[in-house]
Amino acid sequence: MTPEKALNFLKEGNERFQNNLKANRNLLEQVNDTSEGQFPFATILSCIDSRVSAELVFDQGLGDIFSIRIAGNFVNEDILGSMEFGCKLAGTKLIVVLGHTSCGAIKGACDHARLGNLTALINKIEPAVEAVKEPADESLRNSKNLEFVDKVSEKNVLLTIDNVREKSPVLAEMEKTGEIKIIGAMYDLSNGEVVFYE
């Protein structure tokens, strides 16, 4: 397995998903096959949105991917530790930061929402809002402007990748030596397509 092959597996899986052609797999057989160990090929950080299950949108089975989910698909120390485990110890070859269109967490950041513990989560996404400069008109920089929301979602993916490289010397070194690839992607809720940022 190489990072390029891992990426191709995900691309092929998303093609199957879009065409409603699931790979023929026996999940109970996979339970038995993975009962004494796992050998996933990718680690995917995605949002908790119920419509964006990485296993489904990439048509993968049990034991194929590590799936890390948090609203707004950003990284913190615990998520970075999980990624380091996935790549350095379990051998995954690819990290995908997967954002999606019309993201509720991104909308909350665009509106600077404040609510209990959600406030701290929103604060971690707000740098992406500030990094998107257009539109300059403040009345258009909110969750009602879905084009703006999606631009912020894309910027959030790219900033998250920067944070992975900056805050995890382990993963940065693995990427530098070609052991892994770190890539961003966006899932379109309207048609099921994943666009990779290559």
User: CA 60 to CA 50: how far, in whole Å?
Assistant: 17
Structural domains in the chain plus CATH codes: 3-197 (3.40.1050.10)
Identify the H or E element spanning 40: none
E strands present in 13-118: 42-46, 65-69, 94-100
DSSP state of 100: E
Length in residues, the chain: 198
100 is an annotated ligand-binding site residue: yes
103 is an annotated ligand-binding site residue: yes
In degrees rounded to 5, what are phi and psi of residue 74?
Answer: -110, 170
37 band by pLDDT with thresholds 50, 70 and 90: low
User: CA 25 to CA 49: how far, in whole Å?
Assistant: 25
User: CA 142 to CA 148: how far, in whole Å?
Assistant: 7
Best CA proximity match to 176, nearest among 184, 165, 185, 167: 165
Tens digit of pLDDT for each residue in 120-165?
Answer: 999 999 999 999 999 999 999 999 999 999 999 999 999 999 999 9
Tens digit of pLDDT for each residue in 165-193?
Answer: 999 999 999 999 999 999 999 999 999 99
**Token couple for 168:** 């995890």
